[in-house]
Amino acid sequence: MGWTRKDLLAMRDLDAPEILALIDTAAGLQEIASREIKKVPTLRGKTVVNLFYENSTRTRTSFEIAGKWLSADVINFSASGSSATKGESFIDTAKNIAAMSPDVVVVRHSSPGAAALLARDLPCSIVNAGDGAHEHPTQALLDLLTIREHKGGFEGLSVAIVGDIAHSRVARSNIHGMRKLGMTVTVAGPPTVIPPFIQEMGVKVAYRLEDAIRDVDVIMMLRLQHERMTNGLIPSLREYSRYWGLTLDKLRAQARPDVLIMHPGPVNRGIELSPEVADGPYSVILDQVAKGVAVRMGVLFLLAGSKGSERA
């Protein structure tokens, strides 16, 4: 199918064919990474602005690399060095940037709905690179591409997402995408970080790590998002690690021999993942990072080259 959306805001908005179109496009662009000269003229003359109000390593860097490999002009915006420090509002900053006629604005912000606000008011394409605890669609897309390349498909696979579900935009985006592609999802963590209505998203809930990871195809570990937490949700990091940290012994006792271990990063070693698991043969964490560049190339290609006007 052709891509007709102006923006990429949330996995919740997409249907299965749209998700697969994004993944297929990214898969076709992966080979650029293996070239001696990593540059194609696909987006020559296009401008991409990375508008980041939260810290980022993988997402911001991969969007910059993706744009440059496609020959776009990439501008990186940092709130700390802008007029935002002088009191300029988020929407005024965005409108001023839009007045300079970029083709795509990639936005990360701590407020849920920030990307949708820009998509409503600005003529350029908007990509949500994470809006608070709401969604992070390109992370879910790279996770899905990683799973497909290792497992050969999606239908019937079982996934455990373990950790701070309540504050995780990655969990929400992945749940939407995985369920639409026929995967069974179990979320697990201490009751204090499991949203009360999470089962309405079509997932199972487990309150013991061992129950969550038993015989699943994929285990996705999440960090505790202290920056979004109130005090008292977790008694201590030591206790959390004892009950919810994934070690090699726990993995071998409960998981399938061909299980994939995933993590969106940053990894807090020794808390949610032991170093032996993070760096071991089950881990595809660095493969996820590599897939991130391909997925973001695919997103920029479809949006910057799209003639459609439908708003996501």
Note whether residue 21 is domain-resident.
yes
| Residues 46, 15, 31, 49, Cα dihedral to 10° | 30
Number of compact structural domains in the chain? 2
Decide: helix, strand or coil at residue 108.
strand
Q: Is the pLDDT of residue 144 over 50?
A: yes
The CA–CA distances, whole Å, from 148 to 23, 72, 151, 282 equal 9, 28, 5, 15
Note whether residue 275 is domain-resident.
yes
Range of the domain at 282: 137-289
Note whether residue 310 is domain-resident.
no
97 and 182 within one domain: no
Note whether residue 3 is domain-resident.
no
CB atoms within 10 A of CB 199: 12
pLDDT value for 225: 82
Which residue has 């394409």 as its token pair?
A: 125
38 and 26 within one domain: yes
Residue 179: CATH number of its domain? 3.40.50.1370
CA atoms of 23 and 5, how far apart (whole Å): 15
Q: Is the pLDDT of residue 310 over 50?
A: no
Q: Is the pLDDT of residue 1 over 60?
A: no
pTM of the model: 0.94
96 and 166 within one domain: no
207 and 227 within one domain: yes
Note whether residue 78 is domain-resident.
yes
103 and 245 within one domain: no
Q: Is the pLDDT of residue 307 over 60?
A: no
283 and 142 within one domain: yes
pLDDT value for 230: 60
128 and 172 within one domain: no
- Tell me the pLDDT of the chain averaged across its residues: 93
Note whether residue 311 is domain-resident.
no
46 and 154 within one domain: no
Note whether residue 223 is domain-resident.
yes
269 and 142 within one domain: yes
285 and 146 within one domain: yes
145 and 111 within one domain: no
147 and 47 within one domain: no
Note whether residue 1 is domain-resident.
no
